[in-house]
């Protein structure tokens, strides 16, 4: 498979598609905001006129879109991938969506002999740029096997989690842990800073103990440097926790920590931090404590 379509070239999609181009794949790209496609055309990508046009030209089409409805429209709507697909096409959706959405799209595509993988990622913009994402994949194992070289071009690891929907279940569970951990870190580091502890030294100490985590390793330097550029926006994490809450209802599981973390992100959005990085939630705690956490 050499001709790959990519639809949705935002914060994550652009570096992912760029790494495919750098790995030697022939790219056909589409985004409803044409301006976003310019960096990829410089790498040799061709611009398609619609998702259907992408599907007509490619063996595999990847999507990286912000929400469930956008994925449904791009894949199944008028001018969508399904409209232009031929039997044997593979669709890989790396968006973070409900497992039910992944299953629905997979079932619809199967009727026209198109295979679908839900393959959301762990990691944010820096990992996408460096080609160090982790792909967590749901779908037929044979289809997954065919696509491993693509995952390897964009990431450091990839895992087949089970049937369609399994990738999405895994991603939402992962983001639940990430958000709860970030809120816990915000609370703890503000507590230590208010008590007179050097926050940089505090971060170093917890990195060696039971409180250490990848989320803190990623976000603590941003907080200490007052860098709230959105590697992963607060509004997007809030959306993802809403999806995780829907899954919890589906499975009849109480998730009180998830609910608290989501409400903290809602407060941050209300303060105007929705388009800032998710670590901006710490500014709510700082306001309450009348201190600022920095180096």
Q: What is the chain's mean pLDDT, rounded?
A: 97
CATH of residue 184's domain is 1.10.1040.10
What's the CA gap between 238 and 265, in Å, rounded? 6
The pLDDT of 199-219, averaged and rounded, is: 96
Are residues 110 and 200 part of one domain?
Answer: no
Q: In sequence order, what are the beta bridge partners of 163?
A: none
Query: For 142-179, b where at least 16 C-beta lie within 10 A, e where not — what string?
Result: ebbeebeebbebbbeebbbbeebbbbbbbbbebbbbbb
178 and 61 share one domain: no
Domain count, the chain: 2
Q: Is the pLDDT of residue 255 over 90?
A: yes
User: pTM (2 decimals)?
Assistant: 0.94
Same domain, 74 and 115: yes
Confirm whether 294 is domain-assigned: no
The mean pLDDT of 269-279, rounded to a whole number, is 98
Q: What band does 2 get if pLDDT is binned at 50, 70 and 90? A: confident
Whether the predicted pLDDT of 35 surpasses 90: no
> Where among 98, 131, 163 does a domain terminate?
163
Q: What is the arithmetic mean of pLDDT over 238-259?
A: 98
pLDDT at 110 over 90: yes
**Residues contacting 148, CB < 8 A, separation 6+:** 158
pLDDT of 96 above 90: yes
In a domain, 155, yes or no: yes
3-state secondary structure of 108: helix
Residue 34 has a pLDDT of: 86
Q: Is 118 helix (H, G, I), strand (E, B) or coil?
A: strand
Among 142, 163, 184, which residue terminates a domain?
163
In this structure, the answer to whether residues 60 and 188 fall within a common structural domain is no
Domain that holds residue 152: 3-163
* pLDDT band at 198; cut points 50, 70, 90: very high
Q: Which is more confident, 186 or 32?
A: 186
Residue 39 lies in a domain: yes
Over 80: is that where the pLDDT of 6 sits? Answer: yes
Per-residue pLDDT for 4 more than 80? yes
Kindly state whether residues 186 and 137 are assigned to the same domain.
no
Catalytic residue among 3, 103, 146, 171: 171
Q: What CA–CA distance (Å, rounded) separates 197 from 207?
A: 15
295 as an active site residue: the answer is no
Q: Are residues 145 and 283 in the same domain?
A: no
Choose the final residue of a domain: 107, 142, 163.
Answer: 163
- Print burial letters for 203-217: b (CB count within 10 Å at least 16), e (below 16): beebeeeeeebebbe
Specify the CATH number for the domain of residue 20.
3.40.50.720
Residue 1 pLDDT exceeds 90:
no
Burial of 254 (0-12, 13-18, 19+ CB in 10 A): exposed
* pLDDT tens digits along 112-169: 999 999 999 999 999 999 999 999 999 999 999 999 999 999 999 999 999 999 999 9
């Amino acid at each position: 498979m050499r001709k790959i379509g990519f639809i949705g070239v935002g914060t994550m999609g652009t570096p992912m598609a760029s790494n495919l181009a750098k790995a030697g794949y022939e790219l056909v790209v589409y985004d409803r905001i044409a301006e976003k496609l310019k960096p990829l055309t410089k790498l040799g990508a061709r611009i398609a006129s619609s998702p259907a046009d992408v599907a007509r030209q490619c063996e595999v089409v990847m999507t990286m879109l912000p929400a469930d409805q956008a994925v449904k429209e791009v894949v199944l709507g008028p001018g969508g991938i399904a409209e232009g697909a031929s039997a044997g096409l593979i669709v890989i959706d790396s968006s973070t969506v409900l497992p039910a959405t992944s299953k629905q799209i997979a079932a619809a595509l199967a009727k026209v002999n198109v295979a679908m993988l839900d393959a959301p990622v762990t990691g944010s913009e820096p990992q996408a740029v460096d080609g160090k994402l982790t792909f967590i994949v749901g779908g037929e194992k044979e289809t997954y096997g065919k696509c491993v070289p693509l995952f390897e071009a964009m990431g450091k690891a990839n895992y087949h989690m089970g049937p369609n929907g399994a990738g999405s279940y895994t991603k939402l569970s992962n983001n639940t842990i990430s958000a709860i951990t970030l809120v816990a870190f915000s609370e703890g580091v503000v507590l230590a800073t208010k008590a007179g502890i050097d926050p940089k030294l505090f971060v170093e100490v917890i990195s060696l103990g039971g409180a250490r985590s990848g989320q803190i390793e990623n976000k603590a330097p941003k907080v200490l440097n007052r860098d709230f550029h959105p590697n992963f926006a607060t509004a997007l994490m809030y959306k993802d926790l809403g999806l995780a809450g829907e899954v919890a209802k589906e499975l009849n599981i109480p998730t009180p920590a998830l609910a608290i973390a989501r409400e903290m992100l809602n407060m941050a959005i209300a303060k105007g931090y929705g388009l800032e990085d998710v670590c901006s939630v710490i500014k709510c705690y700082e306001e309450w404590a009348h201190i600022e956490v920095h180096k």
